[in-house]
């Protein structure tokens, strides 16, 4: 897999590029070679346990079939619960119940979850009592936006503490003050090339390589320079007479030829597209063996699969409303959101296409203006600055110099961004009362945090509304009303994405939100390919499509993989199943 690895190895990249598969295969290869290895997932939507067929969770667990390999999934919610109890527990029976509830309310936000998970993360970088027994610790990190935030946190929280920041949203400052030395040690470890290597995992796609280049630059800017590029899922060079395969080969070559020069200069390892899902030890070990192609397989396209066009018909019937695409990173939420928005606009409706995903690139996907379609992005940086300016001009207007300085310090706390983004999210939801709003959401973990904030807001509004509650419509009420909001869960016809999508649906159901439909994206079964690798992968899709059809979705659509990237209005409409020119 990778040569001469240091003790700490991070695999990071855009969602869906294969970080977990490469992390698991690397860990297995090292353990098979006699090394003692700890595999850690910091992804809120971890599926390491599913890959190994072992229940792991938030404790170090041996992988029985691989001597020398241990695994750990950092559970942000579990860590947050333990963190809250460490703070609140000693106060029970000492403080009044009302005061305890106030403290618990302070500790209920996303910041507490982030800090609690980060405490566990830093322990693995700095505590020899925990890590001394291992030759290597392999981190399967969350999608890029989350990872960059996680890696910046040691410096961010240290700086926050240096300035004596207000900790009203974080819990008692003393709880963070105790971690100052450990945070500093974590920064040192991440920046030490002899101890840490950052492997940027990407696909041979223009958008994925561009994301890797941005990540590389951001990591270098925070002092992490020991980087390695892993290009995963390269189409084998022999097209075997298959038109789709030939197009995919050409697409890979063009993307690699246009790679950012600084990214191309990094040491790199390339991995071929495999004919199987990388689940189970046998498949993981085959990652270390050369791919051998045999004769082409005969296969015809499955013509009974429902198209995206029928779902758009159902969405259009309401005449307006909010459409949200959700799912694991890398499944094509941005593409599906853009395809639905372009089709609705082509049918003459006014449509706003927007995103809450920091890693989304809607303008690149649309590749030009579309009549009746406007595009926006909820930019966390811009929204946070707008929010700060508003608070300073209102609440801060009557404060003296000392009071204003304290308010400015409070607005530099990490919770401010969450509040600002939520307010922007709420504004977009209101627009759906008069037009179609199609929202491309961030990867699953981020989306659920956003929805959790929406739910907290809903409960707070209803608690204070009293007799007027019956006349109010909160953002959560809109999300829970299928007449107002249609949620499309986007997935791939692969084991892990379908399981992850099912977990997302369960979480939404617990919040009183019922997904309206599922979209299975980039399906090979719908293409009729005869290339041996592609046909083998197409055959593995059948049970996953059946699972969606027979138990997970009340309605669904299957979108075929295209020979060319779905960029531009015409190709996006081809995904829907309609190809006429836009009027």
The mean per-residue pLDDT over the stretch 68-74 comes to: 92
Q: Which residue has the higher pLDDT, 251 or 464?
A: 251
Residue with tokens 């019937």: 317
pLDDT for the residue 168: 41
Q: How many CA atoms lie within 13 A of 206 on its CB side?
A: 12
- Topology at the third CATH level for domain 8-274: Rossmann fold (3.40.50)
Q: Which residue has the higher pLDDT, 3 or 28?
A: 28
Q: Which residue has the higher pLDDT, 369 or 146?
A: 369
For residue 368, give the DSSP letter: S
Cα torsion 427, 430, 434, 440: sign:
positive
Confidence class for position 296, pLDDT limits 50, 70, 90: low
How far is residue 168's CA from residue 237's CA, in Å, rounded to a whole number? 57
Tokens of 111: 């910041």
- Catalytic residue positions? 16, 18-21, 43, 496
CA-based Rg of the chain, rounded to a whole angstrom? 24
Q: What is the pLDDT of residues 353-381, one digit of tens each?
A: 988 765 556 777 787 788 999 988 888 78
Cβ proximity of 272 and 230 under 8 Å = no
Q: Which residues pair with 183 in a beta bridge?
A: none
- Of these ranges, 122-131, 151-160, 410-419, the one predicted with the greatest mean pLDDT is 122-131
Say what the pTM is.
0.73
The mean per-residue pLDDT over the stretch 333-338 comes to: 91
Q: Which residue has the higher pLDDT, 70 or 1?
A: 70
pLDDT for the residue 555: 95
Q: Which residue has the higher pLDDT, 15 or 499?
A: 499
* Longest CA span, the chain: 79
Query: One fold for both 8-274 and 308-576?
Result: yes
Residues 6+ apart with CB under 8 A from 408: 392, 396
How far is residue 229's CA from residue 216's CA, in Å, rounded to a whole number? 9
How far is residue 210's CA from residue 25's CA, in Å, rounded to a whole number? 25
Q: Which residue has the higher pLDDT, 51 or 321?
A: 321
CA 324 remoteness from chain centre:
15
pLDDT for the residue 351: 95
CA 337 remoteness from chain centre:
16
Q: Give residue limits of the domains in the chain.
A: 8-274, 308-576
351-355, strands of its sheet edge to edge: 373-377, 351-355, 436-440, 321-326, 485-492, 517-523, 556-560
User: How many other CB atoms sit within 10 Å of the CB of residue 216?
Assistant: 22
Query: Which segment of 47-51, 101-105, 111-115, 127-131 scores lowest on mean pLDDT?
Result: 111-115
Cβ proximity of 419 and 454 under 8 Å = no
How far is residue 313's CA from residue 517's CA, in Å, rounded to a whole number? 13
Collapsing DSSP states into helix, strand and coil, what is residue 522?
strand
The mean per-residue pLDDT over the stretch 536-545 comes to: 92
Mean pLDDT score of the chain: 81
pLDDT for the residue 459: 61
pLDDT at 144 over 70: no
How far is residue 527's CA from residue 560's CA, in Å, rounded to a whole number? 6
pLDDT for the residue 581: 31
Residue with tokens 């509040």: 419
pLDDT for the residue 580: 33
Q: Which residues pair with 521 in a beta bridge?
A: 492
The mean per-residue pLDDT over the stretch 541-568 comes to: 90
How far is residue 302's CA from residue 454's CA, in Å, rounded to a whole number? 41
Residue with tokens 């401010």: 416
pLDDT for the residue 170: 41
Collapsing DSSP states into helix, strand and coil, what is residue 128?
helix
Instruction: Report which of 44, 103, 106, 129 is spatially closest to residue 79, judged by C-alpha positions.
Output: 44
pLDDT for the residue 105: 64
- pLDDT > 90: what percent of the chain? 34
Confidence class for position 173, pLDDT limits 50, 70, 90: very low
Q: Which residue has the higher pLDDT, 285 or 470?
A: 285
Residue with tokens 């929204």: 383
Tokens of 140: 């399967």
How far is residue 495's CA from residue 543's CA, in Å, rounded to a whole number? 9
pLDDT for the residue 359: 55
Burial class (CB in 10 A: 0-12, 13-18, 19+), 347: middle
Confidence class for position 201, pLDDT limits 50, 70, 90: very high
- Of these ranges, 39-48, 149-158, 552-561, the one predicted with the greatest mean pLDDT is 552-561
pLDDT at 145 over 50: no
Q: Are strands 268-272 and 61-62 parallel, antiparallel or unpaired?
A: unpaired
pLDDT for the residue 582: 29
How far is residue 150's CA from residue 320's CA, in Å, rounded to a whole number? 38
Q: What is the pLDDT of residues 260-286, one digit of tens each?
A: 999 999 999 999 998 887 777 888 888
Q: Which residue has the higher pLDDT, 563 or 536?
A: 536
Cα torsion 120, 121, 122, 125: sign:
positive
Q: What is the pLDDT of residues 492-512, one digit of tens each?
A: 998 878 988 998 898 888 778
pLDDT at 525 over 60: yes
CATH class of 308-576: alpha beta
37-41, strands of its sheet edge to edge: 61-62, 69-73, 37-41, 136-140, 8-12, 196-202, 227-234, 268-272
Instruction: Report which of 477, 479, 453 is spatially closest to residue 465, judged by C-alpha positions.
Output: 477
For residue 143, give the DSSP letter: P
Confidence class for position 128, pLDDT limits 50, 70, 90: confident
What phi and psi, each to the nearest 5 degrees, are found at residue 169?
-95, 0
Q: What is the pLDDT of residues 85-97, one digit of tens each?
A: 877 888 888 888 8
Instruction: Report which of 212, 210, 190, 191 is spatially closest to residue 201, judged by C-alpha positions.
Output: 212
């Amino acid at each position: 897999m990778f040569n001469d690895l240091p003790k700490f190895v991070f695999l990071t990249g855009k969602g869906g590029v294969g970080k977990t598969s490469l992390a698991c295969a690397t860990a297995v290869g090292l353990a098979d070679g006699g090394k003692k290895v700890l595999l850690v997932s910091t992804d809120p939507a971890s599926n390491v346990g599913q890959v190994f067929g072992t229940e792991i969770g938030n404790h170090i667990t041996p992988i029985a079939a691989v001597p020398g390999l241990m695994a750990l999934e950092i559970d942000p919610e579990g860590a947050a619960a333990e963190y809250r109890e460490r703070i609140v527990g000693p106060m029970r029976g000492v403080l009044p119940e009302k005061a305890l509830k106030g403290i618990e309310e302070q500790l209920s936000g996303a910041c507490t979850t982030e800090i609690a998970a980060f405490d566990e993360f830093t322990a693995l970088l700095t505590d020899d009592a925990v890590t001394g027994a291992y030759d290597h610790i392999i981190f399967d990190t969350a999608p890029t936006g989350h990872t960059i935030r996680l890696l910046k946190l040691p410096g961010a929280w240290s700086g926050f503490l240096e300035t004596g920041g207000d900790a009203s949203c974080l819990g008692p400052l003393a709880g963070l003050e105790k971690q100052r030395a450990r945070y500093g040690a974590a920064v040192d470890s991440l920046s030490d090339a002899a101890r840490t290597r950052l492997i940027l995992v990407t696909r041979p796609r223009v958008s994925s390589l561009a994301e890797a280049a941005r990540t590389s630059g951001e990591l270098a800017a925070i002092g992490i320079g020991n980087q390695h590029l892993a290009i995963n899922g390269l189409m084998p060079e022999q097209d075997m007479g298959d038109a789709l395969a030939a197009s995919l080969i050409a697409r890979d070559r063009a993307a690699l030829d246009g790679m950012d020069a600084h990214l191309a200069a990094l040491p790199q390892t390339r991995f071929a597209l495999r004919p199987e899902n990388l689940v189970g030890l046998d498949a993981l070990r085959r990652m270390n063996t050369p791919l051998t192609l045999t004769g082409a397989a005969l296969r015809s396209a499955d013509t009974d699969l429902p198209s995206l066009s029928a779902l758009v018909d159902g969405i259009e019937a309401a005449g307006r409303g909010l459409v949200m695409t959700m799912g694991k990173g890398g499944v094509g939420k941005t593409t599906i959101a853009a395809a639905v928005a372009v089709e609705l606009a082509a049918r003459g409706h006014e449509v706003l296409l927007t995103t809450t995903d920091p890693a989304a690139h809607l303008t690149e996907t649309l590749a030009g203006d579309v009549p009746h379609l406007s595009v926006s992005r909820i930019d966390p940086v811009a929204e946070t600055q707008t929010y700060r300016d508003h608070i300073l001009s209102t609440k801060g207007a009557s404060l003296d110099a000392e009071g204003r300085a304290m308010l400015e310090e409070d607005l530099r706390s990490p919770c401010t961004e969450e509040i600002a983004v939520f307010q922007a999210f709420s504004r977009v939801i209101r627009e759906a009362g008069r037009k179609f709003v199609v929202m491309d959401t961030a990867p699953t973990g981020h989306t659920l945090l956003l929805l959790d904030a929406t739910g907290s807001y809903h409960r707070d509004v209803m608690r204070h509304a009293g007799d007027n509650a019956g006349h109010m419509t909160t953002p959560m009420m809109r999300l829970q009303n299928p007449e107002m909001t249609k949620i499309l869960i986007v997935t791939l016809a692969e084991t892990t994405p379908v399981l992850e999508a099912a977990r997302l649906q369960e979480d939404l159901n617990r919040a009183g939100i019922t997904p309206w439909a599922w979209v299975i994206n980039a399906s090979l079964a719908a293409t009729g390919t005869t290339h041996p690798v592609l046909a083998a992968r197409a055959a593995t899709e059948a049970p996953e499509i059946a699972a969606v059809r027979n138990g997970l979705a009340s309605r669904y659509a299957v979108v075929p993989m295209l020979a060319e990237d779905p960029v531009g209005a015409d190709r996006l409409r081809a995904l829907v199943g309609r190809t006429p020119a836009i009027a």
